Every structure is written in C-alpha cells, then in structure tokens.
Amino acid sequence: MMTDVVESSGGPARHDDPAGADPTGAAAARTGTGDTVAAERIVAIRERIDEIDRTLIALWQERAALSQEVGVTRMASGGTRLVLSREREILERFRSELGADGTQLALLLLRAGRGPL
Ligand SMILES: O=C(O)C(=O)C[C@]1(C(=O)O)C=C[C@@H](O)C=C1
C-alpha cells in the first residue's frame, strides 16, 4: 500500500513499504531523505563521489608537485619563473571544456603549482 512519508523538507514522499520509511531516523539525518530506497541509492552514489574526490585530491597534489618541479628546473637553468603563453593555453582549455567555472578552476590549479602572482 502506498503511504505518505513526511520528509524533513516538509514535502510528502511516496513509498510502497511503510516499514522502510524512516523520516526522523539516523539514515534520514545522513542522506536527507526518510525513504530507505532513495537513501540506499544516495549512499551508493556517495561512495563513487568520495572515490572521485580522493582521485581529484591526489591529481591536484601531483599536478602541483610537477608544476613546481618545472619551475625549479627552468629557473635553475636561467629561465623564467612563469611562461604566460602556456598559462593562457591551459586557461583556454579549461574554459572551452567547462566554461567560466573552468577558468576559475584553472586559475586555482596554476596558483597551486607556481604560487600566487
Ligand atoms: O608548463 C610550465 O612551463 C610550467 O611551469 C607549469 C605551469 C602549470 O602549472 O601548468 C606553471 C607555471 C607556468 O607559468 C606555466 C605552466
């Protein structure tokens, strides 16, 4: 039988299994829904999100280290600290793929590697 489940957001949710509804329990507090089917799906999706975040953090750190190594290598050989044409290329790549947020992301990536301007 379909049963109304009152969510903390105030809106009613429908669920086939009233025993599976837990609008005020711990699962609802963790996932934002008292519907156990939705909560299970959210938990599964979050596992992948956490995996992606770990990968992003590791890649961020690897990129920063590599960028710093390029800078040290270049300066030790009498070169410049920065290569602005290369930075423009990177900014354009991120902008064309991700739009304005891509530009902001690329600026943060570049700063992590070569420090603030
Ligand atoms: O590719 C380079 O030459 C780098 O020094 C790396 C990097 C980057 O982080 O991508 C950092 C500083 C430069 O101005 C350009 C690019």
Amino acid at 65: A
| pLDDT in single tens digits along all 117 residues of the chain | 333 334 344 444 444 455 567 777 787 889 999 999 999 999 999 999 999 999 999 999 999 999 999 999 999 999 999 999 999 999 999 999 999 999 999 999 999 998 888
Q: Report how far ligand 1's centroid is from the alpha carbon of 87 (Å).
A: 6
Which atom of ligand 1 lies at the shortest distance from residue 86's CA?
15
CA distance 2 to 91: 52
Distance CA 41, CA 56 (A): 23
User: Can you tell me the distance from the alpha carbon of 29 to that of 13, in angstroms, rounded to the nearest whole number?
Assistant: 16
What global pTM score does this model have? Answer: 0.80
Tell which phi-psi region holds residue 4, choosing left (phi > 0), alpha (psi between -120 and 50) or beta: beta
Residue 53 CA to ligand 1 centre (angstroms) = 24
Q: Are 23 and 5 in contact (CB under 8 A)?
A: yes
Residue 7, Ramachandran bin (φ over 0: left; ψ between -120 and 50: alpha; else beta): beta
Residue whose CA lies nearest to ligand 1 atom number 1:
86
Q: Is the CB–ligand 1 distance for residue 93 below 6 Å?
A: no
> 């995996």: which residue's tokens?
51
| Per-domain boundaries in the chain | 27-79, 82-116
Single-letter amino acid code for the residue at 90: I
pLDDT of residue 36: 93
Answer whether 82 contacts ligand 1 (Cβ < 6 A): yes
